[in-house]
Amino acid sequence: MNPFRGYGAALQGASLLIALGMTSACAGEAPPQTTIEDPAAGALRVTVLARDLEHPWGMAFLPEGGALVTERPGRLRRLDANWRLDPEPIAGLPEIAAVGQGGLLDVALHPRFAENRRVYLSYAAAGDGGVGTEVAYGRLVDGRLQDLKVIFRARPKVEGGRHFGSRLLFLPDGHLLITLGDRGQREQAQSLAVHLGKTVRLTDEGAVPQDNPFAGREDALPEIYSLGHRNIQGATLAPDGTVWLHEHGPQGGDELNRLVAGGNYGWPVVTFGVEYGTGRPIGEGTHKPGMIDPVHVWVPSIAPSGLAHYGDGPIRAWRGQLLVGALKFMQLVRLALDADGRRVVDEVRLLDGRLGRIRDVRVGPDGLVYLLTDHPRGVLARIEPLPAD
């Protein structure tokens, strides 16, 4: 693996942003419809479905059509099957602390949502010592979350507004994976006594599965599933059960990883990133025995957020590939995997600022790709093949 793959593409993308102009995207005025050209798929249509979402962060598709979308300041919004935004936010949410990068973050539906109507939320919440990531669920009934239950509180809560994570992903066994940032406390990412810089695996009720890798150890919190992370804002499941994650590096060094139970992903002992401003090295280098090397690295950083595995949808050339949102260069990054689905063999960058900062990427029930943009007037957009003549 060439850890510096994509360096030239990143600079080219930055130049394209300047050439195209970023005024409309930065002003939340993405065109209603545009066409992009993908080297493998050809021409694709990008359509804005909804506007004026305030810093949208995550989305979940409803079985009856439409979706739930989180807004970071603390609102959960509903779009109907025709993508019309309900002017009234969903009521009954937990108390949310909109601090820095924190606020209302991800949303996920229970695998049996059609039966139990459970909606899971990750969010920043205040408490003793500061602010931290929490997860709760409630039943969605008549525009309100009922019977709200908090099932996880990251410990400890700390001051500051950085690195909350926090994607929610239901696994094939029905357990819930929660991704957590280091909250700016980098050394804590290596400690099994705290949740900072970890992934956590719980049952749908918040209990610790007995087969968690650190369950039963006196020196570890039993809900921890992996460690050594900086700030994971992308998680997706491949058909073979592989969980893919990506996370923000410091100055450079964003990573794509495959999740391994009990795995140590190195931060801050090993990283491809450097200190902001000074460029000084961090830790002990880029590799160390006992720590898992990333599958793919972005130098310079693309600031990845949102991650989806593309299945058997109508964009045939994208099947089996990963789609990554990029905040920094306002791009959608397509990663082609090898035949085994284990190694990145190509990287293509699309959009180049036409929509804005891509915060979330999802594949809908229709096999089309849906994007959220991080902006005070963010949008929900859809990518689809152009209709045949």
Active site (catalytic) residues: 163
- Cα(337)–Cα(347) distance, integer angstroms: 9
Q: How far, in Å, are 10, 63, 209 from residue 112 at the CA level?
A: 41, 11, 19
| Closest to 200 (Cα-Cα) out of 250, 243, 140, 256 | 243
Does residue 155 sit in helix, strand or coil? coil
- Cα(279)–Cα(384) distance, integer angstroms: 41
Q: Outline where DSSP puts E strands in 194-242.
A: 199-202, 224-226, 232-237
Paired with 348 in beta bridges are 334
- Cα(245)–Cα(177) distance, integer angstroms: 11
Q: CA triplet 356, 357, 360: central angle to 5 degrees?
A: 120
Q: What are phi and psi of 188, to 5 degrees?
A: -70, -15
Query: Which DSSP symbol is given to 76?
Result: E
Burial class (CB in 10 A: 0-12, 13-18, 19+), 7: middle
Q: Tally the C-alpha atoms within 13 A of residue 250's C-alpha that lie toward its C-beta.
A: 22
Q: CA triplet 96, 102, 104: central angle to 5 degrees?
A: 45
The β-bridge relationship of strands 42-53 and 56-61 is unpaired
264's torsion region: left (phi>0), alpha (psi -120 to 50) or beta? Answer: beta
